[in-house]
Structure 1
């Protein structure tokens, strides 16, 4: 018989300890985010061999971002309905097939199907959003933002791990075999997902359990949720613009290209610190005030970077500071969704919020290039990012940090079917 301490460390209905669940969830997040964040390394060798344009590759990545956003809500609902482990395993398989299609693609349309549609949907089904919903169900409400911070930081670690790994694979085996190797590594996800098996326990409010349609109607009728969706759009716009256009902006400033690479590496490094700190502080501070501060702080950092004469030192300081603010929005954002609506449909409702993020990402990438072509300068996009940050800082202030009235009623749990 398990001791009381052992039982306490093991979530109800699970054969695995809480530590095992959290560690496996973080590893899934890292493996999921790593190959996707390394796609840029394959651009030049892939299009060089096929004789395609950069626009061809860029369109595939744009489609990937949109499919990631669409799939986040769809596969979130699937995870809530059919179970986390099954959804993660399906996502890993689709993800791997998409990368294999990229490696084989004889024509641009197959690159768009593989690297765009399939990889985007696969990333969505095995992403840290699905993982965070699973972790949110097995920890107390007070500790959710902390484990959300760990999952977000794990994604950043995956970016660091897979970036040099992808470069090494290309250099030693070629881009084609490198993609095949990445596809093979994704098959670790179904194994790591085993401790995450299960789905939310249906609960009755009165006599009926809430349906997916009712959950969506409740969320979209909730003013605070809509404000959260609007704010996360801004996060996607700012992050995607910097990720895509910052290296070119650095060269426009007359600085060496290597400073753009260094900046993106520093952003990833300090993002780990920011995500963990955000998760920790989210247990102790108001989440809406945290989000408002993060977005307003981004606007301040953007403004300073635009106005101060550029030097390698200012680039390093900007990268370190914005890295801390990079994905520190994720733990409190998902924490608020869980607080408002519980964990029954957390993956789906969190996925809807993330879809808004990806729409912002698409516009950040596209408008960055479009406005540059019109003005021969990125300055208008930077100021747009400043304005959007102020907007996001303001819209988070009226958010109510409280459960919906439905959750205040007595809830009678049903038995959770085995997965």
Structure 2
């Protein structure tokens, strides 16, 4: 065939469209994964300018030896030692462009998509798994923090990996290699992610109680040995990180709004605590639009409770693996040790989105398909559209005074 004829020949897209539609229908979870990857890569390729916090952390990375943890970090910054070492090595080798500096968060953000597919497919009903995967893939916060020079997407990926291994250890046949993987990840986690302490402690405590309840003392002893090794690693990582934080830090002053008063002694204290909890649906979950914020927050909370009740009936230990880390983080916030807000609890998004999605899927059995369709529109339309809008260039983010991606709805 002449080249001119080949170039002018009409292309029949019908077979391709049919194969694509068949793939989407057969593999909806994988479809969401690849759409999520494309969205994150799209934002990564924009290479937007560093914002204030990124630029401040970058100043502690350039020209520094990877394992130099002896001095205080400048500009009131702090990050896990392992994250600092990896970023310093990468920037020292390849330079300080946004493509280089954001490569590790990007890899972790993409890895989290694949981990969450397994997480949702293992834990949820099929419809709920698809809903959760859509919410996860098209989460504005998860997309953005996959492309920021901060360790938040590292927290997310590491938390998901620990949770997945814990769920497998909970119900799958014994596997020595999996137990070694849990041990290695637990010991390494304090050096890579600060909030991993809540995930490891919560999952480990749940597994230990489950083994003792079933009379599996040998398994409980092995988990206790892992806990001791993790505790030693956590202590060393904590001391190393503490030396990098200047004594005159204003960090706790900045995050004062995210510490629930305990015990609450006035209506104002109760209102602040409720605002902190409700704000979770705004950031990092981004399920609350500007209109009717209380109604949408209550709607998402009701779905989450419904999903939690379903999982409590099916597998209460699995529910504990999801919620005990959140409870530990909330306790730490009441003691002013760790703020319960926004990007610092991004690692909780998988558990919360999974429970909300499961609650939404249960509507079909209690109310019917028409009600399910309405619930899905109310739940997914705003976050998906907002994520696509925020990813469209050129778009400048207007951070609020707390450094969040959007205005708070339930707190000052």
Shared fold by TM > 0.5? no
Larger Rg: 2
Whichever structure has more helix as a proportion of its residues is: 1
TM-score in terms of structure 2 length? 0.30
